[in-house]
Structure 1
């Protein structure tokens, strides 16, 4: 995925439950410092953060 907005949208679609998404988003925040529950557009161009968030999501069993 090219940006954090796309990663967030993919996670929301895969998880399907807003409460479960919040739980996953908190875990990703604690591991990466990226808060997917807030506006991520400021970090959308940061390829390293996008890769880091995708990697953490995959380690948790998402975005496979």
Structure 2
């Protein structure tokens, strides 16, 4: 398994970018779809991945 530091140097991508992208894998599928479709920004949803799926929709609702 590659460490994030190794990924940084190999890919030329900042560790914070890698962490941010990886955190989206823990999102509810609907939130992932919203992110891909541009209805939400990564800055708005990355911390939601820390919540259980049933609570991820509570803080933000698409209007």
Task: Flag whether TM exceeds 0.5 (same fold).
Answer: no
Greater RCO, 1 or 2 (C-alpha within 8 Å, sep 6+): 1
TM-score (ref. length: structure 2): 0.32
Pair member with larger Rg: 2
TM-score (ref. length: structure 1): 0.31
